[in-house]
Structures are given as structure tokens and as C-alpha cells.
Structure 1
Amino acid sequence: MKLDSPLFDRIRVKPDKDRRFQASAPTCEWAGCDQPATHRAPKGRDREGQFWRYCFDHVRQYNQSYNYFAGMKDDAVAAYQKDAMTGHRPTWKMGSNNTGGTKRFREAEPHEGMADPFGVFGEMGGRARPEAEPARESRMIRNAERKALETLGVEMSATAEEIKTRFKVLVKKYHPDVNGGDISTEDRLRDVIQAYNYLKSAGFC
């Protein structure tokens, strides 16, 4: 966009206050320095929230030598680092309260026989419950397949062998040659054959 555009002044974001350095800013607190204090630096351990005000050169020099753990013993540093893992918040052993480690679960004993598949509550008497048997895969039966099974007169859970056996029985029952040439059962035989062929194409037999 051109800087002399009449639209430029309308869309330009103007700060609500002047953020430029003011001459009245405090001076650097480094000994013997009279430069403006443009940066803050933490004062150190046990003085959290308090800061020194330094110029750019002196805050950089201060940060290079800053050590939060200066003067602390090794075991105190290790304890601090361990507490830092939980954000310096108090923690208790699982199953214990914050008044002395008494296990509340032992008083009411609700853990007896409770499911503990991962062994988390083993020390409190929890027992691992045997895993349940995986559910059998159930095939979703569509309406056309359901109708074909009903035509053959077999259950929804019928095996392929049961369907084939039932089909042979019905063919012998409704075939005209078996009924002395009677063609009144031809329609029924046709339905049986179509139902069996459909189930066969669908993978049921």
C-alpha cells in the first residue's frame, strides 16, 4: 500500500500510549552506572517477585552469572528439583490421606475383591479379576438375508452346513418329480432356490 494513500491513515493502528523510552525512567541500579534502567532482573532465591532494574549491558552481565541455586547444598538442590516435578505441590502416597498416611481404604475395606487388572492396588489387597472372554463377532444381518433365512426355515445363527442340509430337504419336498408331477409347489420351490442362492452369494453357505 502506498504511504500517501488516503486509506492509510484510517487503518493504521495507533497505540493508546507512547511506548517509547521516557527521559524520566529510573536509572540503572548497577554501581556506578547512570544509564536508563530498561530491563528487570530477579533478585534471587527467597526474594521471588523482586527485581533489580538494570540497563541492557548490565542485565546481560548479571544474567550470565546468575545462579538460583547458589549457596544450596546438593541434597537441597535435589529435593527442590524433585518437588519441581509436581509444581511444588504436596503429594501423598496412593491410598493415604494427608494426616499421617493412614490408609482409609483399610478401614472400610471396600477393596476386597475389587477389580485391579493393572495391579495398582495390590498392596491394599486388591485382586486382579480374570479378563472377560472376548465377545464373539456377530454378523449384522440385513433384511434381505433375514427374509432368505426365514424362507428356508432356519435360525439366524445357523451354520453353513445347516443351511445346505435344510436346502436339500426343501428341494426334495417341493420338487414336482417327487410329488408325482404336481406343479402346485413350483412357486415354493423357486423361492427356496432363490433364497439359497442369495445366502450363498452373501457368504452364509
Structure 2
Amino acid sequence: MQNTNSLKTSNIDSSAGAALCDHPGCSASANHRAPKARNRLNDYYWFCLDHIREYNRSWNYCAGMTNTQVESEIRNDTVWRRPSWPLGSQDGKFSGNAHFHDDLGVFEAAASMNTRRKQEKRAKRPKQNAEVRHALRIMNFDSPVTLTELKSRYKELVKRLHPDANGGNRAAEEKLKDINQAYATLKKFLVA
């Protein structure tokens, strides 16, 4: 880092009234400011463009700090150096059921709207008829079932019961026909 002791202390040229570079031996106009030290961030040196670049290359805010101090600085800057407290440190002081009167019925309306939506969704869902329940039994499912589960089970059963896999067994062939029918029924039910 640059030796700050050798920098000028006065940067105003009394004859011109303009700020001059604080770098020793430089009389260029000073348009760029830089903090004097980590503990004096609001006290500035004024430099020309060339010297501010040189100063910035050598400036290290964390010089002389331990890792713990650097970590502390980072944490403080995260909350803009404002005090903060851990969340949930009130020991349940504000938890529990809130007791208030909803004069406008806003919360009541939202709750009833959610209930109404759920009921509408449930009403749109087709009811399981005897054919669907029979197809579920054939596919060895308990209700409810997803389309992904249905496809997976169907592939498994087709591989096991396919005529090429079981040597032309007639019983397996009939079972496969039932499974194909059950799959079509359940797929139609789930997609609807």
C-alpha cells in the first residue's frame, strides 16, 4: 500500500481555487477522491486520474485484519451496518392464533373461495364407476393411481404376459387381453 505519510495535506491551490492532486510532486487537477484509511472512510485524498489508479491498485481495505475481522465486516455490510436480531427469538410471544375481528370479512371470503375451488375441482373429476373399479382390480391397483404408475404397471404386465415371453400360453393371452382393456379404461378415466 502506498505510504500515506508522504501525501500532501492541502489540496487547494489558493491562486486558482481548484483542487490539486495530493500525490507529491503532482500539480494536476484532482477530480477523484479516495479514503485516507479504513477507519477514516469519510476523510479523502484527492488525486488526478493517473494517481487515483495507482492508489486504487495499492489500496487494501482488509490489510492488517484477521480472518475473523474480515468475516465480521462482511456480515455487517450484509445488513448495511444496521442492528439485527435472530429470527424466532421471541419465544412464541407472537405465535399462536391471532385474535382479531375481521369487519370486512376479507379472510373469511378467501377461505370460502379456496373451499369453493376445491369443491369445483372435485366435482369436475369423473366418478369411479363399476368399470373403472374392475379395471383397477385387474391392474392390481388401489385407488387413487397416477398415469405414470399406470403406464409403469402396464409395461411390466405386458412384458410378463406377452405370448412371445410365455411360449403361447392361452391363459396368459386372455389375461393380457383383459389388461389391455383395463389399461384403456383407466387411461381414459385418468386423462378425462
Q: Which TM-score applies when normalising by structure 2? A: 0.40
Q: Which has the higher helix share?
A: 2
Q: Compare relative contact order (CA 8 Å, sep 6+) and give the higher one, 1 or 2.
A: 2
Which structure has the larger Rg?
1
Q: Which TM-score applies when normalising by structure 1? A: 0.38
